[in-house]
Structure 1
Amino acid sequence: LINLSYILVLTEGFIRLDMSEFQEKHEVAKFIGSPPGYVGHEEGGQLTKKLKQCPNAVVLFDEVDKAHPDVLTIMLQLFDEGRLTDGKGKTIECKDAIFIMTSNVASDEIAQHGLQLRQEAQEISKKRIAENLDDVQISEKITISKRFKENVIRPILKSHFRRDEFLGRINEIVYFLPFCHSELIQLVSKELTFWAKKAKQRHSITLQWDREVMDVLVDGYNLHYGARSIKHEVERRVVNQLAAAYEQDLLPRGCTLRITVEDSDKKILKDRGDRSSSGVGGEGKPPRIRLEIIEMDSKSRKLDIRAPLQPEDSAYSL
């Protein structure tokens, strides 16, 4: 009962604002409410109205780099004194609120630096293994140096936001680095599990896959697009085939499907997976992902899905 109440409090106390909706100067009124005499005065602001209801909420300012500078000016008072004056002149105390901002500023620089750090960590691990050291601990955890933060990131942030007083009110900056191979495997597994549940609920189809399939799908990771590239890769190479097979009446209700890699070489796939964690795909034609239907005698039969089935030529939804 305590855990359930805690979850409910968190859900009600979470405020998310898409800051791309506040790119113009006049849209500051949407943030704190219109002053007396203007249209929408009685409605209140999107932030002030919600903070008044829950002054200790967790507030997310998504893509804050897209907001107008006047909106950032309002945040100075909010972050420094923990209070905010709305369009009606009323002061809202929110000292117990937690404010989180996301931004893509300097994302390319951070990604390239993170990629370099991962490559250096891999080289060190390989060297220790080659030297047969007993204390070898292969770790994929890396940290950004203070020098990089001060010499590279801070000048970019200062150039974009153009004010030290805004940056000075931020307690902590969390950097999101490129995914390592094990994290990409988890993302692929999560996506496949999502579609497996969907296939089971809607069509009573059981979906299975090999580890090799995840290694191949990981190779679709794009350093600049993040986790979305994995989502798109699963949809392009797996979900499109599932939907096409269903539309062509190749999937009996209640059947069991296995996702496999055709003519796979496990060593090659592993090498491709290692390269994908650095955002660099392998050369040559990628391994082909196929669907197999498992018969009653446990034998598998490959599905002959009619062409065209190229991702750029077709789009389906399961």
Structure 2
Amino acid sequence: MSKNILITGASGSIGKRLTNVLLRKGYSISMLSRAPGQNPAVKTFIWDVNKGIIDDRCIDGIDTIIHLAGAGIAEKRWTDTRKKELIDSRTRSIGLIYNLLRTRQHQVTSVISASAIGYYSDRADELMTEDSAPNTDFMSHCCVEWENAVDEGEKLGLRIVKFRTGVVLDKDGGALPTLAKPIKWYVGSPMGNGRQWIPWIHWQDVVDMYVYSIENITINGIYNMVAPNPVTNAQLTQAVAKQLHKPLWAPNVPAFVLKLMLGEMSTIVLGSTKVSAQKIQDAGFSFKFAEVRTALKEIYG
């Protein structure tokens, strides 16, 4: 079983949680970062993706690489420059690692990478499986480029796993604090018509799924990283409000307002993506939080 793991994007909320779980399980963890690490239990190696710089010692003794690196999709408006940054931060980073694997002796056998349900993008009420075709907008294009870059590892004889991740529910980061803030101030409401599907997942199940894929080498290829029971935007908003004991009285935020505010990026909140979790369940993974109500109760309880 894998014991020596290199993580990119380890400073993100999922990266931190995954690192802590793996350390408790006895794994040796290294990370690639632009700055020295703060955790003395983790070896930190410096890289600069834009400059093509990477400490070649980072792969010494490593058998599994977890690729979580990538600029935040919703952090800035999608200008042409930002779009390039979003793609490059995901593709050039793994490319830098693969170039290293091609030129040095190593014992890496597996690369387990994040991807996103943005691969499917806005698909109304159609249920998306791993075999569904990608959409044609920017989010889909970004995910296709991301996955293609990761798949280059197959030419090196590596086991490749890619997780198309949904909306991760975590009160310390991601979409949930943004959704919950107006609710806490009594001005929360669904976005657009509220009927768009949200493929959510509790952060604990995200971490557990990464650990499951590390420890089960039969896990291979692409999997949707979503809970088995998706909800609509309105249902999620109502569930958060109920958990926070706040009323919902404000009218829905009109779609045209969101499009004016966010531009092309409005697809993140207005797009409807209903995603199946059947494949990862068939592979033996059991969800701790299959229902959004119990997920939110644990998060806020």
TM bucket (normalised to shorter chain) is 0.3 to 0.5
TM-score w.r.t. the length of structure 2 is 0.34
Structure in which a larger fraction of residues adopt strand:
2
Structure whose CA Rg is larger? 1
